[in-house]
Amino acid sequence: MPNVLTVRGLKKSFGTQAAVAGIDFEVRAGEVFALIGPNGAGKTTTLRIAATLLTASAGEIAFLEHDLRKDPDFVREKISYLPEEAGAYKDMKGMDYLHFMADFYARTPEEEKTFVDRAVAITALGDPLGDRLKTKVGTYSKGMTRKLLLARALMTKPALAILDEPTSGLDVLNALEIREIVRKYAKEGTSVLLSSHNMLEIEFLSDRVALVNKGLILDTGTPAELKAKHSAQNLEEVFRSSVR
């Protein structure tokens, strides 16, 4: 089975500053692949290029064997992207927001209903005790808003979900719930490309990990492989060993 995403020699510069300095990796079908590293390592730039929001300075990206540059519309139909600082329309009710977003992708009213029903199940905000989807998004906590946005990203069951710091700023319980949702959808066939600076979280969430620093990938493997290779107890120690 072909890779969902194949990246070769990817570079991106902003003026004289190289944000991505030539990286290679692939995301396989149904796996969670993570880019980890410090702020400014090039993780978000890589995700934005994969999401067709930025154009690479050099290199190639193939999505389901389609060239990203030549066929961006095909890519956009089958991926979803959740930025770290994404927000929802605060004056809209949660349910109205989900219908609004589903309408962009659905080809029939029946498909729109399927997308919204799936999103409601992800958010778990429509329970009989609260039914918060009937209230405005501006009244939601950060954790509730993040789950709403994740539901928007996964409602179509994309071939590839691109998630930038999906649990940033969340408490332990909300972060755990979002990790469980991501793993569930990966098991059902959605590939996930995500970035995070929380290496301990990624250790438990990801199938494979790439260590990124200064626009370069230092090492790639499963968390177990990387820990064994570097004689480390966790990915933080792996990263420290890699950058020495």
Domains of the chain: 5-243 (3.40.50.300)
What is the total residue count of the chain? Answer: 244
Residue 5 · residue 191 · CB < 8 Å: yes
Low-confidence residues of the chain: pLDDT under 50: none
Within 13 Å, how many C-alpha atoms sit on residue 78's CB side? 17
Report pLDDT for 89: 87
Quote the radius of gyration of the chain (alpha carbons, Å).
18
Strands 160-164 and 79-82: parallel
Beta strands in 77-215, from DSSP E residues, in sequence order: 79-82, 160-164, 191-196, 208-213
> What are the pLDDT digits (tens) for 167-213?
888 888 888 888 899 999 999 999 999 998 888 788 888 999 999 99
Global pTM reads: 0.92
- Residue 57: the pLDDT is 94
**Pick from 154, 142, 217, 159: nearest CA to 180:** 154
Helix, coil or strand: residue 202 = helix
The pLDDT assigned to 127 comes to 67
Identify the helix (H) or strand (E) that includes residue 180.
Answer: helix 172-187
